[in-house]
Structure 1
Amino acid sequence: MKANETTGRPGRSGREEQVDQRRAELLEAARKVVLERGLANTRVADIAKATDVSGGLIHYHFATKDVLLTEMLRAASVDDIRKLQDVADSPGSSVDRMDAVLHFYLPEEGDNSGWVLWLEAWAASVREQALRNIVGELDGAWLAVVERVIREGVRSGEFTCDDPAAAAERLDAMLDGLAIRYTLQLGAMSRRHFLEQARIAAAREVGLDRSAFPRSR
């Protein structure tokens, strides 16, 4: 099949590329508006204003506001999962990779927007099945990655753990709780303290002393 002369990608027309780009711009605008106003208070008019387009153009790409917001969250989920898998596949020992996964999980210093977005999604998913599915996919992917890192550490002899799946589940639940507290109670917990608690919990789950993980970074 001949590649498109403009993009170099097989089977893609310039029009299709423009549509994809416009949809991506609208999804990013929706993400920013949700972070500012919350899922419940976000209107199509707000997203239209943020992108300087008409509400009709938004509805051309997304039939309803709910479809737009659901696709925005799905895109964010896919991106987070891809980044997490890349982190878990990074070079180094199993301890190094586990520590890298813990770092990825923590909100960035001074920027908790990612966690704010998912807290919004969690709350809305109580009543919205489509959102519940997306949140479940992200949580399932996180559990699978942590379990894989633990299993690989057990196989290499670095970790001792009789039930990697259960260990991953416990670690996930603890980190979720800390992340919620860190995000909602600004200033009540430092990122360094969050990371220290995460390392202590991870070390216990894989049969290591806390000293096996870095002291601070």
Structure 2
Amino acid sequence: MRSAEGTRGSRADQADQRRAELLDAARKVVLERGISSTRVADIAKATNVSGGLIHYHFATKDELITEMLRATIGSEAAGLKELVEGPGSVVERLDRVLRFYIPESRGDQSWILWIDAYATGLREKVVQELLLELDAAWIASIEQLIRSGVDAGEFVCDDPYGAAERLDGVLDGLVIRYTLHPSLLSRRRLLEHARIAAAREVGIDPSAFPDDQ
């Protein structure tokens, strides 16, 4: 017979799996409808479950959306950590971080989600706090890279935190422009701007970044 502890563990695993499925479905629905227009009923329909089951795992729509955004932040932070601590020179790693920040296309789902979240965050404090958490993770990672470059003698920067904060702000503005105004900025031009901004902050020539191959 299966032990009571094993049964509880199995149920907990099933509950975790169901929550993960609902969070994934919520993300897809939000990308289609927007945060403010998404209803629990829409997510229930997308997963072919009842609204009651969703409320069993998440008390409110706000809790579900919040957890979905938090899970997305966790995923991005894990990818960012790999790049920051990965192989190669500091310049090469900084270039990988810039490329990771910049959308692959104007339809990049992650950036569409965050632009929508920025608008929601104007009125929803919990979303605003999550966005601050996301920004803090990016700034800390860029600061870590800049400090590593200074220590290695690759960069010259008296204020790594300030440089990271400015670079994060510049990238946000460029990416939003790239996403919302397709005719004004190509991805290649966006990467060029990002490299120039980063190079100025760390005292190198933009040509120090790897070729685009």
TM-score by length of 2: 0.94
Check if 1:75 corresponds to 2:71. Answer: yes
Higher share in helix? 2
Residue 203 of structure 1 is aligned with which of 192, 199, 203? 199
Give the Cα–Cα distance (whole angstroms) in 2 for the partners of residues 53 and 188 of structure 1. 43
2:139 is aligned to 143
Residue ranges of structure 1 left out of the alignment (5+ in a row)? 7-11
Q: Residues 77 and 138 of structure 1 are in contact (CA less than 8 Å); yes or no, is this contact kept in structure 2? A: yes
Give the Cα–Cα distance (whole angstroms) in 1 for the partners of residues 71 and 121 of structure 2. 16
Cα deviations by residue, 1:148-172 (Å, 9 ceiling, x for unpaired): 1000100000000111111111111
Give the Cα–Cα distance (whole angstroms) in 1 for the partners of residues 127 and 13 of structure 2. 27
2:58 is aligned to 62
* Alpha-carbon offset, residue 182 of structure 1: 1.0
Q: Which letter maps to 1:55?
A: G
Question: The residue matched to 1:13 in structure 2 has which SS?
Answer: helix
1:1-217 to structure 2, matched below 5 A, reads: 13-109=9-105, 111-217=107-213
Q: Residues 40 and 51 of structure 2 are in contact (CA less than 8 Å); yes or no, is this contact kept in structure 1? A: yes
Give the Cα–Cα distance (whole angstroms) in 2 for the partners of residues 111 and 128 of structure 1. 25
Give the Cα–Cα distance (whole angstroms) in 2 for the partners of residues 188 and 114 of structure 1. 21
Higher relative CO (Cα under 8 Å, sequence separation at least 6) belongs to 2
Q: Residues 106 and 179 of structure 2 are in contact (CA less than 8 Å); yes or no, is this contact kept in structure 1? A: no
Q: Which letter maps to 2:164?
A: A
Q: Which letter maps to 1:17?
A: D
Identity of aligned residues (%): 60
Q: Residues 122 and 128 of structure 2 are in contact (CA less than 8 Å); yes or no, is this contact kept in structure 1? A: yes
Give the Cα–Cα distance (whole angstroms) in 1 for the partners of residues 62 and 122 of structure 2. 15
Give the Cα–Cα distance (whole angstroms) in 1 for the partners of residues 79 and 89 of structure 2. 19
Cα deviations by residue, 1:105-130 (Å, 9 ceiling, x for unpaired): 01123641100101111111111111
TM-score by length of 1: 0.92
Question: The residue matched to 1:157 in structure 2 has which SS?
Answer: coil
* Alpha-carbon offset, residue 210 of structure 1: 1.2
Cα deviations by residue, 1:46-104 (Å, 9 ceiling, x for unpaired): 00010000111101110011110111001111111111111111101010110011011
Q: Residues 199 and 213 of structure 1 are in contact (CA less than 8 Å); yes or no, is this contact kept in structure 2? A: yes
Question: The residue matched to 1:53 in structure 2 has which SS?
Answer: coil
Greater CA drift, 22-31 or 111-120: 111-120
Q: Which letter maps to 1:80?
A: E
Give the Cα–Cα distance (whole angstroms) in 1 for the partners of residues 87 and 71 of structure 2. 27
Question: The residue matched to 2:204 in structure 1 has which SS?
Answer: coil
* Alpha-carbon offset, residue 5 of structure 1: 7.2
* Alpha-carbon offset, residue 215 of structure 1: 3.7
Give the Cα–Cα distance (whole angstroms) in 2 for the partners of residues 77 and 201 of structure 1. 25
Residue ranges of structure 2 left out of the alignment (5+ in a row)? none
CA RMSD of aligned residues (A): 1.7
Give the Cα–Cα distance (whole angstroms) in 2 for the partners of residues 137 and 183 of structure 1. 22
